[in-house]
Chains A and B, each alone.
Chain A
Amino acid sequence: MTSTNTSKLTETVLNKKKHKAHWETRSSYLMLAPWLILFTVFTIVPILASIGLSFTSFNMLEKPTFVGFNNYVRLLLDDEIFLQVFKNTLVFAFVTGPVSYVLSFLLAWMINEYTPGVRSIWTLIFYAPSLAGNIFYVWTIIFSGDYYGFLNSWLMKFGMIKEPIDWIGNSSYVLGVLLTVQIWLSFGAGFLSFIAGFQGIDNSLYEAGRIDGIRNRWQELWYITIPSMTPQLLFGAVMQISSSFGVSEVIKQVGGFPTRGYAGDTIGTYIIDYGTVRFEMGYACTLSVVLFLIMVFTNSLITKLLKRNIND
């Protein structure tokens, strides 16, 4: 009698626990649902759809028709402009990417030496371009090709050039101009993460380091700071890849759309060209898929590199 009672009791308790666990799982999913639904619709579905549409010819008005690997073949064999924009994308990624990444880190490190008040002003100065959004239009005035262009008039004033240079219209300068603007814009979320990371390092680590014979700030940086910042460095890398491979709005507004001879265009703007001007959505999706693949590949490569370096 007693034993059945006990077992009944245990059963109810267990049931209650089960029930509670079940309810908790349900509430977890309920809370997740609004975001997950929107995320699926606006991120997952677009990625999957572009993979699907990359095998079709599609102009938004008629139904997509299946063309197999035609778009990919065209991209690799027939499209000379693609080679150009692919090259530019890599230049953007491998110039602005590492430059911005290293600069963000070094700047955050230097800023960290100051008192909180001064630090917050430096932070604002470097982050302001990212905040101010469309303000990068001002670069078209700075690099304007006539006498009134800011750079031209100063260079002429000092006698360094005789005639104004058409910085944006000339295909040998435009990429340099765009790289400058992109670096100017690149102290974003990754930079903030670095600043925060420096502040989050436990002071006792530095004290211990001093006892162990760390003599100057460079050794401190190398032996203590960088290893403690791996998570932030990984986050910063993701942010950097996302901004330097995704660059398009800056190019459109500063360099023109498209830039002369596609000299400053990247896969990003080339996609917009095919998608919004020529309405060849199938091909635009093929380009998008290629861009996704390059980004994911670069990200996994850098993650591996950073982790291996830290673990050594």
Chain B
Amino acid sequence: MIRSFVSWFAVATMLTVAGASAVSAHHGTLVAYDREKQWTAKATVTEFRYLNPHAQIYFDVKDDKGTVTHWSGELLPNPAQLIATGWTRRRAMDALKAGTAITVTVAPPRAGGNVGLVMRILNDKGEELLGAQPVPAAAPPAAARP
């Protein structure tokens, strides 16, 4: 019992923090998206790609009228970070097969269009996938100059 709790705690801690530490990309991707306008919706995975420089997820979102919109999304964690937090390629690909129902939180592009920064993915059981987590919508105050 204790052993399983420790295991759960370790994984949960890693996943929680991975979201925080995974928020910058090698090409400065953050500025392309508006995190103050992030939204959450149910979606269906059409494709998931476990690749450098960033994992990509493609998905369909259906609105109340039944209109389907296709989205492309990049994830903040790169494969190195996914590996570090236990999301191996096999595990990630199994969790996000085409047809999987998910709930996604997306920061839309400042320029408009249907390519977003995927901040969070939940499966139909409400479980967090890939460890991606929302970050503060607004930039925090800068620390004092040294």
Q: Do the two chains bind?
A: no
Contact residues of B with A, CB < 8 Å? Answer: none
